[in-house]
């Protein structure tokens, strides 16, 4: 039996749709995944009780999917089953995103669960190399994509984010804990004299990332955000980024005049 630890956004519902049978859907208190009604809600202070409950239900496999914000831990809310996990939980919260998720996966595995990546359950969400849109990348876009790959590679060393925006060879935005949508919106009010149109949103997994959790994701809203930021297109790493509602993503790119390029990972 499978369970889904669901964050926000549309990815959890896409994962459930790809599963053969509906999993036990678990969500953090206050986080409601789009299009899903959770079977269980929990807080980080009750994680031990959640894992015991899942074991009692016969769950053997877990998948983590969706966006999460780092929770605050209320020591007074810790239950007895979670107390032994407190040192590991605090260690995880002190790490970057990839580091914290590696620790979380280790906790689940130590408790006897097999952790599956979203891409293992729904491989069709990954795109092969190519550019399926009407607009194709120009020479300047190809250069900006290479620069974007280098920027995300450098960000990987300090576990910051999985995306950046590059225009005329300059990094004009990098993803932080506030996410891709916030980064794109920040480009609407830039205090510089660089060109105000063109460039790319580049998105890829971090170098050496634990891919069973937090694979980068794009969807129709990403396209609209990139268009609002006057970018020329979106570049993703082939086989490394989940694309939600692909038909709509491509249609929106065509409607808004952007390209979508699934670019083979290269050493830059």
Query: Using only C-alpha atoms, what is the Rg of the chain?
Result: 19
Average pLDDT over residues 233-262: 97
Residue 267 pLDDT greater than 60, yes or no? no
Per-residue pLDDT averaged across 198-204, rounded?
A: 96
pLDDT at 61: 95
- Specify the pairing of strand 217-218 against strand 242-243: parallel
Q: Which residue has the tokens 């083979």?
A: 264
More confident of the two residues 134 and 98 = 134
Model confidence pLDDT, tens digit, residues 119-130: 999 999 999 999
Domain boundaries, the chain: 2-121, 126-263
Measure the CA–CA gap between 219 and 244, rounded to whole angstroms: 5
What are 64's two structure tokens?
């983590």
Given 3.40.50.970, 3.40.190.10, 3.20.20.220, 3.40.140.80, which CATH number is that of 126-263? Answer: 3.40.140.80
The answer to whether residue 193 scores a pLDDT higher than 90 is no
Q: What is the mean pLDDT of the chain?
A: 89
Q: Which positions ≥6 away from 231 have C-beta within 8 Å?
A: 165, 167, 187, 198, 199, 200, 201, 258
The pLDDT value recorded for residue 125 is: 96
pLDDT confidence of residue 98: 55
Q: How many CB atoms lie within 10 A of CB 88?
A: 15
Q: Name the residue among 89, 103, 98, 108 with its Cα closest to residue 50.
A: 108
At 259 the three-state DSSP class reads strand
Q: Model confidence over 57-112: pLDDT tens digits? A: 999 999 998 887 777 778 888 889 888 887 887 777 666 665 667 778 888 888 89
Paired residues of 63 in beta bridges: 4, 116
Mean pLDDT, rounded, for 2-26? 92
- What average pLDDT does the segment 132-140 reach? 97
Q: Exposed/middle/buried for 122, CB within 10 Å: 0-12, 13-18, 19+?
A: buried
In order, the DSSP letters of 186-212 are: HTTS--S-S-SS--EEEE-PPTT--TT
pLDDT the model gives residue 195: 65
Q: Which of 66-70, 164-168, 204-208 has the lowest mean pLDDT?
A: 66-70
Task: Give SS3 for 133.
Answer: coil
pLDDT of residue 12 exceeding 70: yes
**Hey, which CATH number is domain 2-121, 3.40.50.10680, 3.30.390.10, 3.40.50.20, 3.40.50.300?**
3.40.50.20
Under the banding of pLDDT at 50, 70 and 90, the label for residue 268 is very low
pLDDT for the residue numbered 32: 82
User: Is it the case that residue 158 has pLDDT exceeding 70?
Assistant: yes
Instruction: Take residue 205 and report the two structure tokens written for it.
Output: 């997994």
Q: Is the pLDDT of residue 257 over 90?
A: yes
Buried b vs exposed e over 103-112: b needs ≥16 C-beta within 10 Å? bbbebbeeee
């Amino acid at each position: 039996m499978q369970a889904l630890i669901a964050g926000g956004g549309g990815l959890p519902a896409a994962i459930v749709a790809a599963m053969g049978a509906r999993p036990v859907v678990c969500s953090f208190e206050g986080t409601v995944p789009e299009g899903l009604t959770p079977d269980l809600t929990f807080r980080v202070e009750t994680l031990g009780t959640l894992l015991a409950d899942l074991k009692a239900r016969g769950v053997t496999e877990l998948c983590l999917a969706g966006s999460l914000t780092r929770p605050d831990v209320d020591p007074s809310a810790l239950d007895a089953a979670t107390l032994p996990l407190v040192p590991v939980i605090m260690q995880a919260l002190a790490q970057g995103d990839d580091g914290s998720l590696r620790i979380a996966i280790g906790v689940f595995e130590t408790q006897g669960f097999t952790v599956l990546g979203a891409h293992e359950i729904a491989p069709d969400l990954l795109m092969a190399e190519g550019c399926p849109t009407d607009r194709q990348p120009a020479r300047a876009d190809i250069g900006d994509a290479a620069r974007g790959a280098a920027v995300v590679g450098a960000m990987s060393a300090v576990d910051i984010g999985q995306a950046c925006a590059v225009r005329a060879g300059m990094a004009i935005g990098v993803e932080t804990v506030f996410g891709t949508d916030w980064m794109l919106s920040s480009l609407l009010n830039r205090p510089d004299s660089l060109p105000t149109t063109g460039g790319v949103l580049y998105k890829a997994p971090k170098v050496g990332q634990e891919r069973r959790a937090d694979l980068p994701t794009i969807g129709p809203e990403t396209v609209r955000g990139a268009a609002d930021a006057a970018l020329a297109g979106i570049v993703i790493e082939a086989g490394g980024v989940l694309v939600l509602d692909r038909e709509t993503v491509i249609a929106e790119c065509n409607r808004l005049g952007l390209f979508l390029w699934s670019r083979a990972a290269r050493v830059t």
